[in-house]
Amino acid sequence: MSTGRIEFSSKFGIIAATVGSAVGLGNIWRFPYEAGTHGGGAFLICYIFFVFLIGVPTICAEFTMGRAGRIGIPGAYRLGHSSRKWDFIGYGGILAAFLILGFYAVVAGWTFEYILESVTGAFRDTTSEIRHAHFEDFISGWRAVCWTILFLLVNAAVSLGGVQKGIERVSNILMPLLFIILIAFCINSLFMPGFGDGVSFLFHPDFSKLTPDVILSALGQAFFSLSLGMGCLITYASYFSDNTPLVKTAGQIAILDTLVAILAGIIIFPAVFSFGMSPAEGPTLVFEVLPGIFNQMPGGSIWSTLFFILLAVASLTSIISVSEIVVAFLSDEIKISRTTATWVLTAVTIVTSTLCSLSFGPLKSTNLFNIFDYVSSNILMPLGGIGVCLFVGWKMKIEDAIGELHQKTGVPMWLVKIILLIIKYVAPICILTVFLAGLL
């Protein structure tokens, strides 16, 4: 079926763009500190369980909607019927996209500063108190705002290039680069004195640590990391061709995304143990603890520069995908050009992320950064995930779903039946339970 909608031009491009969306700050910044504060191995096992049991079928559900409708959100929620009753789930996704852009761009901006400081050797011979004071001072000021705006302008430049010449081309270059840097770090990790302790912390599960809180955090992390529940993968799938294998692609994203999270753990924990730091440092683990560690390593400023480039690359390919939700919405539904849509989005996001950034300084009382993060990750994404599953499981015609998952790519029917069963019952119930428990 040709709809005239632009499509990704190659299989590699599809994997690079979708994995690029999934692999981001969630894997390299959030996963290690979540695992670090939630007991390592036990958290990892829960996380992997949720990625494959709930995550992969939910990715299939988003892909099914996106490719069947060849439209982003909320249009995909009108598939097979003409009422606008389901549109609100799509608008929830668009709101989530604005909120994520607001806080994600701030952390992404910090990576630019840390690349610069690594290159100039600013961390050399500093104590942890000095680095802490420096980090606090930096994130609360206007310098952080400038980096955030610069990051958003780079994002706009990619978006203006369009799906093939912007998103796909940039992902094709950056994703292999990201994997090369990751592998270089892993090899370096092998030679650290704390390698054994770090790896055993990550892989040795202590089941006494499995509290409801750990389980909830693992599901939330799985959703955030797979870019699920806000229409990002619906939008990307609207650019897939008829012969893109949906189930296989969903599996590949889950495997590569989990691999990067584990590699990030293998990079960070041995370093943490080698230099006598605590893995339970929290969100500042990457920005305060790692520069201290790099400081003590031979060739530290090179490793440090590489690490923050890795973080910047991962953030960019993810933020592009969040922006695409809004750009596709503005051009599909409001019918404005891609260029205008990109500038509208960039202008609004510059305002919101400036406010988020300043909420570490003069606007501290607003707590905006944390509110944006909390509302998008803990409320809108799980609710959106339930919405996607309910729509595909209960509202969409079963023949259409089977057509996308089975007929177009020949995935065995028994597997499609299991996936649909999970989409219909297991995933919504599981997400709802976690959501309610999380709210309480």
Return phi, psi of residue 293, to 5°.
-70, -45
Closest CA to 174 of 314, 304, 307, 311: 314
| Residue 96 CB, nearest approach to ligand PFF (Å) | 8
Nearer to ligand PFF, 234 or 411 (CB): 234
- Which residue has the CB atom at the shortest distance from ligand PFF? 26
| Residue 267 CB, nearest approach to ligand PFF (Å) | 16
Cβ neighbours of residue 33 under 8 Å, at least 6 residues apart?
A: 281, 282, 283, 285, 286
Q: Burial code of 46-55, b = ≥16 C-beta within 10 A, e = fewer?
A: bbbebbeebb
| Residue 216 CB, nearest approach to ligand PFF (Å) | 17
What is the full DSSP assignment across 38-96? Answer: TTTHHHHHHHHHHIIIIIHHHHHHHHHHHHHHTS-TTGGGGTTS---TTHHHHHHHHHH
| Residue 261 CB, nearest approach to ligand PFF (Å) | 9
Nearer to ligand PFF, 123 or 373 (CB): 373
| Residue 227 CB, nearest approach to ligand PFF (Å) | 4
**Cα–Cα distance measured from residue 198 to residue 289, given in angstroms and rounded to the nearest whole number:** 15
**Cα–Cα distance measured from residue 108 to residue 316, given in angstroms and rounded to the nearest whole number:** 8
> Can you say whether the dihedral through the CA atoms of 309, 315, 317, 323 is positive or negative?
negative
Nearer to ligand PFF, 363 or 371 (CB): 371
Q: Which amino acid is at 168?
A: E
| Residue 329 CB, nearest approach to ligand PFF (Å) | 13
Nearer to ligand PFF, 26 or 194 (CB): 26
Nearer to ligand PFF, 113 or 324 (CB): 324
Nearer to ligand PFF, 17 or 427 (CB): 17
Nearer to ligand PFF, 37 or 225 (CB): 225
Closest CA to 224 of 427, 424, 34, 439: 34
| Residue 299 CB, nearest approach to ligand PFF (Å) | 28
Task: Work out the widest C-alpha separation in the chain, in whole angstroms.
Answer: 65
What residue ranges bind ligand PFF (CB under 6 A)?
A: 21-22, 24-27, 100, 224-225, 227, 230, 232, 318, 321-322
